[in-house]
Amino acid sequence: MKVGLKFLIIPFFLVVSFCSAQEFRYLNNKLPLETRVEDLLKRMTLEEKAMQMHNATPAVERLKIPAYDWWNEALHGVARAGLATSFPQPIGLAATFNEKGIFEMGTAVSDEARAKHHQFAREGKREIYMGLNFYSPNVNIFRDPRWGRGHETFGEDPYLTGKLSVAFVKSMQGDNPNYFKTITTAKHFAVHSGPEPQRHEFDAKPNERDLWETYLPAFKMLAQDGHVYSFMCAYNRLYGKPCCSDSFLLNDILRKKWNFKGFVATDCGALYDFYMFHKTATDSVEAVAQAIKAGADNQCWGYAKAVIPAIKRGLLKESELDTAVARLLRAKFKLGVFDAESDNPYSKIPYSVVNNKAHQQQALQMARESIVLLKNAKQTLPLKRNLKNIAVIGPNANDAEILLGNYNGEPAHVISPLEGIKNKFSTSNILYAKGCNVIDTPGYDKKSDYDEAIKTAKQAELIVFIGGISPRLEGEDLKVKVPGFLGGDKTNLDLPIVQTELLKELKKLGKPIVLVLLNGSALSINWEEKELDAIVETWYGGEKGGEALADVLAGDYNPAGRLPITFYKSVNDIPKFDDYGMQGRTYRYTTKPVLYPFGYGLSFTKFAYSNLKLSATELNSSKPLKVSLNVHNIGNFDGDEVVQLYIKQFGSTMPIKELKGFTRINLKKGERKMVTFELNAKDIMHYNEATEEMEIIPGKLQLLVGKSSGKAELTADITLK
């Protein structure tokens, strides 16, 4: 009997094991991806599929599907999930003009992302900000300096934005043939660039030329060159249609024209706007149906429970739901969500990488490279090391928090400007006074702060004034209504008057003044440019921003950042904020004199350009054109130079000029290097109104090589065929 019983039991377990393997074929990572997706999809109930539409997807235990939240942030470091390295805000990253640096930063950020995700998973935590899908980069064009979220972007130029975004996405997503390291999300698609108070309801109506030549190119580069695997559709309408229910955007352009293969997520709560503000749907059920049918696959803050009612009402087909769910499952498989950790190479990244010394050093280097020297009269900078007393004054001097911008993590330590200066100039007596608040507000008695600042400054040989604005004033959907700021946007471009008035009082003391700006957008600092000795733009520099500033002030780092935005002389020099046309905006279309042009930035040394050579005088689609020149450091400091290549195509509808190449090089004192650009005809496409397509438009071109968009050092003429 014992033998017989044993004989019966063994086959029973073999049968169970065999059935289990058959039931969960999608767990076999040796099978083709599409086989796994199809196998899992057909096993899911309608309710289980519907719940995949929400950013917070519940576990399905019977199918061994873990809970997963699609919402995570990594704008300039892993955000909102505790310890993480904080790099400069993206507008500062753009000022580096350094694709390689952005790529290396993305590698560090994605290392921390993987390490944190797997640690959370081991602890059984699969909540918001713990997944591997990141709602970044923000590649909207910073078309207007009033927009509060502009500091989340890579600036005003489509080419620079596209190139830096591609570098970030490639490093974040990794190059493993089987697994994504993370999945990045290009946002906000499309034409989403303020005003913030109207972001849930405005209808953007740029002309077709501006849409295709300004608002869409960076997204196209990410889809086709960066192979970004996720897009986020914007809150607003485009030509009357909410972006998240716009099949023209999500299917015709994204999937058909650009051959995008990933998935689309909505901005958070975007479907609510359909029926509350846009009035294109009557309720959440109709909104859900419109979004899924148009190609939006996942809803951040969505209405997963409205999916089945939408099907029952006949507004949505289950097959349309299946298309969306399949895209999401495909992404999960490519992230390794269904596979053992041991099979995923990225699971082996140790948690010890998070905010480690190497990443802190990277943050410091990127902060250094982001700093733009705007003025340096009489070689005020670098500061002399024998200064006995330095007055550090200003509302941003001792505020470490603002260096983190927004969408940030929490580094172990943030070095404020004041701390950085004290550490660097340890043999000098650093005298500090706040001087004033960032802005003047009702009831604020500034006199005592002014008096303290003037008293402090009188004791010093030189004044470093650290001002600017703050991400508490410029940012996303802020509940702010004070002079100069509304809802996160600026209403003028001036430095807050309370700071300029204090600077004028300090100027009367007759001492050298260095103005240090912490801000995320262009400022019309006309008086400051005329009257102060040196001006340094540091943006929101991340955890090492204060140390990077001190390195520049001391001359231990030679600044080479370049402006990724135009600094206008006045808000009156640009069109109305809610005008989405590009005429009169950015270096590509403005005809008025500006304070500082796009691409501008000074150095402690001087560079000479010479010997421009072209491989041909004609450019066509069959062969790229090589452009080479010599750059010579003829000054007294080692330093970086950002060489910029612009084109001017002649024609009434063409931009004034367009960036088509840039490279950041390091030259020792007296050193000479050859710089080479490769110009491709496909990168010089413009909108053809007759065909309604982006095309190569034959004609005459001028090549302009220089240190900014404002002045060409070398020029040459070619023909585009």
Active-site amino acid positions: 267, 474
How many angstroms separate the CA atoms of 24 and 539, rounded?
52
- By the 8 A CB rule, do 247 and 216 touch? no
DSSP state letter for 383: P
- By the 8 A CB rule, do 406 and 476 touch? yes
Partnered with residue 706 across adjacent β-strands are: 644, 712
| Tokens found for residue 575 | 């069109």
Give residue for tokens 């024209």. 257
Q: What angle do CA 269, 315, 205 make, to 5 degrees?
A: 50
| Tokens found for residue 376 | 């340096």
**What b-and-e string marks burial along 676-704, b requiring 16 or more CB atoms within 10 Å of the CB?**
ebebebebbebbeeeeeebebeeeebebb
Which residue spans within 377-533 are E strands per DSSP?
389-393, 429-433, 462-468, 481-482, 485-486, 489-490, 513-518
Residue 260's alpha-carbon distances to 177, 208, 278, 363, in angstroms, are 18, 21, 27, 32
- By the 8 A CB rule, do 564 and 112 touch? no
Map residue 720 onto helix, strand or coil.
strand
- By the 8 A CB rule, do 394 and 574 touch? no
| Tokens found for residue 118 | 């797997």
How many angstroms separate the CA atoms of 660 and 682, rounded?
11
- By the 8 A CB rule, do 410 and 401 touch? no
How many angstroms separate the CA atoms of 405 and 367, rounded?
13
| Tokens found for residue 535 | 């001006």
- Provide the total of helices (H) and of strands (E) in the chain, helices listed first: 20, 28
- By the 8 A CB rule, do 152 and 165 touch? no
